[in-house]
A and B are shown apart, each in its own frame.
Chain A
Amino acid sequence: RKEVEQDPGPFNVPEGATVAFNCTYSNSASQSFFWYRQDCRKEPKLLMSVYSSGNEDGRFTAQLNRASQYISLLIRDSKLSDSATYLCVVNGQKDAGGTSYGKLTFGQGTILTVHP
């Protein structure tokens, strides 16, 4: 099983649509969860952290289900500028059970294209 698995898409949606991305992770000891976005040939940029209680940032809502090891991202009212690859990212865990600061495990990414 892949450490972090995402539906690669691509998702093609019209402006104004709502789109949801899903992600699963294999390491139940993972501690921190994020969504990054990556534009073509650019660096990953943090979109939002994901908290157990779920969190919202404007048009973006993230959910975490630790029992199912499942993370989601919902984008409402899609804009053309939302077109990018969305990366599900998990903070790793050292084998000895220690916390692994900054060793992020990335999913393959989900490609989103928003069209007029």
Chain B
Amino acid sequence: EPEVTQTPSHQVTQMGQEVILRCVPISNHLYFYWYRQILGQKVEFLVSFYNNEISEKSEIFDDQFSVERPDGSNFTLKIRSTKLEDSAMYFCASSGLAVHSGANVLTFGAGSRLTVL
């Protein structure tokens, strides 16, 4: 079964440092996403990416965050200057697109746990 892969599985960083989380989406998918889940809280949408640009982002996704698809396979999330409150599990997801139904089934990666000290 095709899967979304994420690296690293766990990263510990100091406050103020830059972090890059990497994802390899499913190869024939068109839409890519980042979600996050703070421990004990719900999963929250960060950003969606299509056709090499951001299609939608949430209020959480401020200027400290950026996404990039540097080549044909990787999709990255960069946090420029990490804060304590950025500690969370970050999930990458990808999907094809069911144009007619409007539904969009996402496949999530196993997540990257970020701990900011």
Residues of A bordering B, CB below 8 Å: 31-32, 34, 38, 41-46, 49, 87, 91-92, 94, 99-109
Contacts and interface: CB of A to CB of B under 8 A. Distances in A.
Which secondary structure characterizes the binding site on chain A?
Answer: strand
A42 B110 contact: yes
A104 B104 CA distance: 9
Given A31-B102, A43-B91, A44-B43, A100 B56 contact: yes
Interface of B: 31, 33, 35, 41-45, 48, 50, 55-56, 58, 89, 91, 93, 95, 97, 101-111
A45 B108 contact: yes
A106 B104 contact: no
Contacts of B33: 102
Contact of A43 (B42, B58, B104, B111): B111
Contacts of B101: 32
14 contacts: A32-B101, A32-B103, A38-B43, A44-B43, A91-B102, A91-B104, A100-B56, A101-B55, A102-B106, A104-B35, A104-B45, A106-B44, A107-B42, A109-B42
A42 B6 CA distance: 13
Given A49-B105, A104-B45, A106-B43, 20 more contacts: A31-B103, A32-B103, A32-B104, A38-B43, A42-B110, A42-B111, A43-B110, A46-B107, A87-B42, A87-B43, A91-B102, A91-B104, A102-B93, A102-B104, A103-B48, A103-B56, A104-B106, A105-B45, A106-B44, A109-B42
Given A101-B97, A102-B33, A102-B48, A44 B104 contact: no
B109 A92 contact: no
Contacts of B56: 94, 100, 103
Nearest to A38: B43
A105 B56 CA distance: 13
Given A43-B111, A46-B105, A49-B105, A101 B43 contact: no
